[in-house]
Amino acid sequence: MIRHILASGLFAGVAAGLLATALQLVLVVPLIVEAERYESGEIAHFAAPPPAHEDTAAEAEHTHTHLHQHEHDADAGGGRLWGMPRSLGTLLSGIVSWSGFGLLLVAALALANRAGIATGGMRGLAWGLAGFAALQFAPALGLAPELPGSGAAPLVERQIWWLAAALATAAGLGLALIGQGVALRLGGLVLIALPHLIGAPHPAAYAGVVPPELAALFAARSLGVGAVGWAVLGLTAGYLLSRQPAAPRPAPV
């Protein structure tokens, strides 16, 4: 039984880790590389002023073409900054992280099964999405995923708020979805909202060097990759856990 639970969690974690890391390398890592170039001062973003008169239209077009070519050349060089060793490190850390999430998820599913709650692929999918809500979506409502070079509040304050939001959301979802009685379910909803009512720490003024469009795209893609990873993790873990081998029958006397 324990061996089956561990194997289910590890297999689901590896599957989710491989997929999520592959998506991250394709969709998220290029944005990080570009943000690092803004942070280092290699490139900078600015709003180009309009041409003073019609005669400068051709000059403005030439400038735009030159800047576009410069950024294209820089992108070609910047993409190599990540490199194979860094990609392998990202892959290994992703597999380890998702394997840990898989073990936690199958442990929760096994406890729910002992309490009489059936397990299966769709049940695991729901639990996986709940994990995404607790560890990524709800904290991101207050502290969005940040690129290097983004303005932010002190790190310790953000870590404390993120941990409080994740724990409150996990406990609140448990009360709201599994709790018996209206009072417990309402209490769960209040618990989910509490960190956001208190408010996440933010800087007094934003002075990041990263373009806001790039930061918004990074946040959207990070959450999208996380949602896919948690969905695959929950679906796989629930399916594998439901296929528990039957206990051997005692030999007839």
pLDDT band at 43 (very low <50, low <70, confident <90, very high): confident
In a domain, 120, yes or no: yes
pLDDT in tens, 112-122: 888 788 888 89
Average pLDDT over residues 136-150: 92
In a domain, 135, yes or no: yes
Question: Residue 248: helix, strand or coil by DSSP?
Answer: coil
In a domain, 145, yes or no: yes
Q: What is the reported pLDDT for 2?
A: 85
Mean pLDDT of the chain: 82
Q: Which residue has the higher pLDDT, 96 or 58?
A: 96
In the predicted model, is pLDDT for residue 59 greater than 50?
Answer: no
In a domain, 21, yes or no: yes
By residue range, what is the domain housing residue 120? 2-45+61-152+203-242
- Round to whole Å and give the CA distance between 137 and 130: 10
Of the candidate ranges 14-28, 141-155, 182-196, the one whose mean pLDDT is the lowest? 141-155
Q: Which residue has the higher pLDDT, 190 or 60?
A: 190
Q: What is the dihedral of CA 168, 174, 180, 184, to 10 degrees?
A: 10
Average pLDDT over residues 186-212: 89
Q: What is the reported pLDDT for 180?
A: 82
Q: How many domains does the chain have?
A: 1
In a domain, 173, yes or no: no
Q: What is the reported pLDDT for 197?
A: 96
Average pLDDT over residues 152-169: 94
In a domain, 160, yes or no: no
Q: Which residue has the higher pLDDT, 161 or 5?
A: 161
In a domain, 20, yes or no: yes
In a domain, 249, yes or no: no
- The answer to whether 210 and 150 are in contact (CB under 8 A) is yes
- Residue-wise burial string across 170-185, b where 16 or more C-beta atoms lie within 10 A, e elsewhere: bebbbbbeebeeeeeb
Average pLDDT over residues 12-34: 95
In the predicted model, is pLDDT for residue 75 greater than 50?
Answer: no
